[in-house]
Structure 1
Amino acid sequence: MLHFSTIARLLLGTSFTLGLVASAAGQSKDVTPKYSNEFLNIGVGGRALGMGKVQASLAADATAGYWNPAGLVNLKNKYDAVLMHSELFSGIVKNDYAGFAMPLDDKTAIGASIVRIGVDDIANTLELVNSYGYIDYNKITYFSVADYALLLSYARKIGNVEGLSIGVNGKIIYRNVGDFANAYGFGIDAGVQYNKGNWRLGLLARDITTTFNAWQINTEAFKSSANVGVPTPKSGNEITLPRFILGVGRSFQLPGQFTALAAADFDITTDGKRNTLVSSSFASIDPHAGVELGYNNLVFLRGGVSNIQQIDASISGQKEWTVQPSLGVGVMLSDLRLDLALSRLAVEKLGGTNANSIIVSLGYGFK
């Protein structure tokens, strides 16, 4: 009996290879570029993903290069490194991350982050049916669809204002669709953090100058697409418009050795009307929130909600509001950090199954 993931890969491959060029042609009719480079908004780090991705005001380790580079100046150790692996849809989609950060002096810090998200072993069925109309399973080949990003970060404390810092990312993007297409892109992020007492404030502007991906299409790879009656896509540029993330957080000292941290982020997108809590043609706002309970700075329990949107219920057909919940736990042993998170997509009402995302990240700070 075939495993679910094997069947899913074959179905995904069939639908992908038959629908790739059709979807590209359909998207070209929309003058508003939506969801470009969306893989960079999935998130990294078990702590962040367990808290509903609220990190704009909180990030202060190597993952700050991803969430808000301004937080790199708040490293607790001279060097900090984080590795993460997460899987979605029974392991079909894999999200991997590696980050490293270090201070240059008492006011500046640098960091580097690498992100990859991809689907491997997708079945290419373009050659499945030969010119005589017969099916030849030996013609099935396999390829991967993967998105990569390299982020180089710089952060600096501002003058004599205690707790205020700024940061910037330069990011290089590479996207690959097997032998069919690939794209290169470059973008810039800028962020600011301000810490005052128990309060944390943060603002990140992603793709502040807009990000351009230059796509190159291998027309030869689509030579069999004429069998399904769809045109071959053309090479061109893909634009990512700015996204602003405003974050606020506050820490609390509870009785005994217990602590609490509550935070909320507000994602403000400028690429047109989205399915979010606040939606308009000018901008859409997607709020998410999270909490973290700690004991003796050793064990942590986390929870969060994100992705608030409306979907059509499978039974009634009426629109209902849904959220994506997440849970996480963390353990800190000296300078070693182990964080686990579980996030569940709100797709059950759409007939979806196995929508859990399991995130494991390992961090280490050393002198």
Structure 2
Amino acid sequence: MSNIKTACITVLLVCFMGSVHVWPASEDDIGTSTLQFLKIGLGPRAMALGEAYTAVADDASSIYWNPAGLGRVTSIQIMTGYDQLLESITYGHVLIALPLGKKYVYGAGINHLRQPSLSKYDEHGNPLGSVKPQDTIALVSIAKTESILSVGCTLK
């Protein structure tokens, strides 16, 4: 009985600690976070698996999901994608994986998110022109494979 009580208390504490940092969004939070487009996944296999791709990443998209999986690539791979999202928002990427020797695989890529022009206004509602929001990021990776272990790193 004591073990069940201890387990219940532990579960409740873990749930409480996980929810402590959750705060409701408000107007004050607008524009306080950057690079949110990195939360958009890429690659057809990864997206078909509901973005649960870390353990099976073994192609050029490993640059994004799990750089250690890049070590499983045995030939040159190039992956491209272009997605039309909501309201003319587009998201594209190009990734390349290049094995050099039997142990090392190098990778590189670029992701780009583009939105249509938005009208810009001051605090009084006067038009100030337009702004064209977009985000771009470059990725560089390396992976090394030993007999049963792969280690990788991606710089974004």
Q: What do the CA deviations read for 1:140-197 (whole angstroms, capped 9, x no partner)? A: 6332111211110000013xx32x20100111xxxxxxxxxxxxxxxxxxxxxxxxxx
Note the C-alpha offset of 1:37.
Answer: 2.7
Structure 1 residue 117 and structure 2 residue 120: aligned?
Answer: no
How do 1:1-367 and structure 2 match up within 5 A?
Answer: 23=27, 26-27=28-29, 36-76=34-74, 78-90=75-87, 92-126=88-122, 141-158=129-146, 161-162=147-148, 164-171=149-156
Unpaired segments of 5 or more residues in structure 1?
1-21, 131-138, 172-367
Q: What do the CA deviations read for 1:191-230 (whole angstroms, capped 9, x no partner)? A: xxxxxxxxxxxxxxxxxxxxxxxxxxxxxxxxxxxxxxxx
- Aligned residue pairs, count: 130
Structure with the bigger percentage of helix: 2
Question: What's the RMSD between the two structures over aligned residues?
Answer: 2.6
Report the TM-score when normalising by structure 1: 0.32
Q: What do the CA deviations read for 1:64-104 (whole angstroms, capped 9, x no partner)? A: 1011111112114x2110111112224x3211111011111
- Conservation of the 8 A alpha-carbon contact between 1:128 and 1:140: no
**Matched residues in 2 for 1:129 and 1:48: separation?**
43
**Matched residues in 2 for 1:82 and 1:99: separation?**
5
Corresponding residue SS for 1:112: strand
Seq. identity, %:
28
Report the TM-score when normalising by structure 2: 0.72
Corresponding residue SS for 1:43: coil
After TM superposition, which residue ranges in structure 1, 4 or more long, deviate above 3 angstroms? 125-130
Structure with the bigger percentage of strand: 1
Unpaired segments of 5 or more residues in structure 2?
1-25
**Matched residues in 2 for 1:55 and 1:127: separation?**
44
**Matched residues in 1 for 2:48 and 2:125: separation?**
46
AA in 2 matched with 1:85: Y
Note the C-alpha offset of 1:119.
Answer: 1.4
- Conservation of the 8 A alpha-carbon contact between 1:118 and 1:146: yes
What is residue 23 of structure 2 aligned with on the other side? none
